[in-house]
């Protein structure tokens, strides 16, 4: 098991196929990482799309908007959320800082 650390989040070669574990008081998250995404100013949005699996997001820097099932949510550094399978979603960057 690897503890969640920004060093591993920014360099996806360290996390692909490995397990991450994070403890939040009485709650913990363990997951196998399948892939890593980084959005920057050159990519304002990842366009509306959906998957047939859950998707876990950890916002490591910046701010943006998460559009999910016709609702918009403000997201920022430190936010963690899950996109349900088969629901159209999109992330948009609100400023020039990476998200």
**Where in the chain are the domains?**
1-36, 38-99
Average pLDDT, the chain: 67
**Range 44-55 average pLDDT:** 79
Q: What is the pLDDT of residue 43?
A: 59
- Integer CA distances (angstroms), 66 to 31, 43, 61, 69, in order: 22, 14, 14, 10
Q: Which of the four pLDDT bands, split at 50, 70 and 90, describes residue 87?
A: very high
State if pTM tops 0.85.
no
Q: What is the pLDDT of residue 72?
A: 92
Least confident of 5-9, 32-36, 50-54: 5-9
Which of the pair, 22 or 91, is modelled with greater confidence? 91
Q: Which of the four pLDDT bands, split at 50, 70 and 90, describes residue 49?
A: confident
CATH class label, 38-99:
mainly beta
CB-side exposure of 29: number of CA atoms within 13 Å?
Answer: 13
């Amino acid at each position: 098991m690897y503890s969640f650390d920004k060093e591993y989040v920014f360099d996806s070669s360290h996390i692909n196929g490995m397990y991450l574990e994070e403890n939040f008081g009485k709650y913990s998250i363990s997951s196998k990482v399948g892939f890593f995404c980084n959005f920057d100013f050159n990519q304002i949005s990842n366009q509306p799309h959906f998957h047939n699996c859950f998707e876990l997001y950890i916002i490591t820097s910046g701010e943006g908007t998460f559009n999910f099932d016709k609702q918009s949510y403000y997201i920022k550094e430190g936010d963690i959320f899950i996109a349900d399978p088969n629901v159209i979603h999109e992330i948009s960057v609100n400023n020039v800082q990476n998200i």
